[in-house]
Amino acid sequence: MPVSASTEVAFERLVHAPIARAARRDAVARRHTGVAISAIVLARDSAARLADVLEALAWCDEVVLLDTGSTDATLSIAAGFSNVTLHQLTTSFAGFGLARQLAVRLAHHDWILAVDSDEVVSPELAREITSLSLDPGTVYEIRFSNYLGGKRITTCGWSPDWHERLFYRRRTNFCASEVHERIQTRDMRTERLRGVIHHYSYAGAHDFLRKMNHYAHLFATQHAGRKQSSMTKAVARSAWAFFKTFILERGFTQGAEGLTISAYKSQTVFWKYLLLREANAAR
């Protein structure tokens, strides 16, 4: 599927000399000899987990890292991996969907594995992918094990958690949504893999606050003029989000982490509808 012309976002290729290093391959002893795979990674201030993420992708033929404005050591860490090509946006961030489409376009190979900068591919998943006879008409779903501050979360709507992440770009691609972007699966088969991705999304409260602000603004931008909002809707949906997560999805069984996640979901819903209300009024 061709990439939309709307993905003509300015970027620059960052030339670097990779540092020789013995990347951990965890039983994926050498690069596979089957189809070539390009992993794509979006990154911004991702230094805390990035080395683990890239080491777990050492078996990939190529890793396209698209940086959207890091001010920490993200780029210097990525430069230490010989299979990584670095690119950086030179315009403002237009949303996750368009950024992923751009990263897909920058890849050299047609099979794409999409991984975020806080997601670590397990050795079992790497072995599984390299042993598969991949079908271009299939989008492959991967199960996520989600963590908060090092603790695996098994309730709160975080488990089971499946995401489409492996696909053939000549047949499909990500949608252009600013947030909650997904691979388009219309007229495609889907197949679930056995291996997992370990997702370390939130290191602590500061991460929740940062992502809450970011996602709420993207939601308002995406739905302004197309979705109604009000203060009543913001409060009601926020209260429902807390009840659903903490009670119905058994967040109370996860202790302080369950309460934190429930409050985060509730607050995110409140602020995204409040920002949408303001965006609609501004129009």
Instruction: Find all residues with CB under 8 Å of 215, minimum gap 6, and list them.
Output: 179, 268, 272
Q: Which residue has the higher pLDDT, 132 or 2?
A: 132
Name the percent of the chain lying above pLDDT 70: 88
The mean of the pLDDT values for the chain is 89
What's the confidence (pLDDT) of residue 90? 84
The band of 66, judged by pLDDT with boundaries at 50, 70 and 90, is very high
Q: Is pLDDT of 145 > 70?
A: yes
Q: Are strands 189-202 and 138-148 parallel, antiparallel or unpaired?
A: parallel
Q: What is the mean pLDDT of residues 209-237?
A: 91
Q: Is the pLDDT of residue 32 over 70?
A: no
Domains and CATH numbers, the chain: 5-202 (3.90.550.10), 205-282 (no CATH)
* pLDDT at residue 102 in the model: 95
Q: What is the mean pLDDT of residues 208-234?
A: 90
The H or E element that residue 9 is part of is none
3-state secondary structure of 198: strand
Please count the other Cβ atoms lying within 10 Å of the Cβ belonging to residue 268: 19
Helices (H), the chain: 47-55, 74-78, 96-106, 123-131, 205-223, 231-243, 255-282
> In Å, what is the CA distance from 238 to each residue of 266, 268, 270?
5, 8, 5
Which strand (E) or helix (H) includes residue 86? strand 84-89
Output the pLDDT for position 17. 46
The answer, yes or no, to whether the previous bond of 18 is cis (omega within 30 of 0) is no
pLDDT score at 4 = 42
Show the tokens assigned to 206: 């500061």
Per-residue model confidence as pLDDT tens digits over 172-208 = 999 998 888 999 999 999 999 999 999 998 877 777 8
Residues 201, 146: contact at Cβ < 8 Å? yes
Going by C-alpha positions, the residue among 87, 89, 92 that lies closest to residue 106 is: 87
Q: Are 41 and 49 in contact (CB under 8 A)?
A: no
- What would you measure as the largest C-alpha separation in the chain, in angstroms? 57
**How many angstroms separate the CA atoms of 276 and 234, rounded?**
9
The distance of Cα 73 from the centroid of its chain, to the nearest Å, equals 20
Is the whole model's pTM more than 0.75, yes or no? yes
What pLDDT score was predicted for residue 201? 82
pLDDT, position 141: 98
Distances in whole angstroms, Cα of residue 229 to Cα of each of 88, 214, 237, 269, 281? 35, 19, 11, 11, 10
224, two tokens: 């302004």
Report pLDDT for 11. 66
In this structure, of 33-37, 121-125, 250-254, the range with the lowest mean pLDDT score is: 33-37
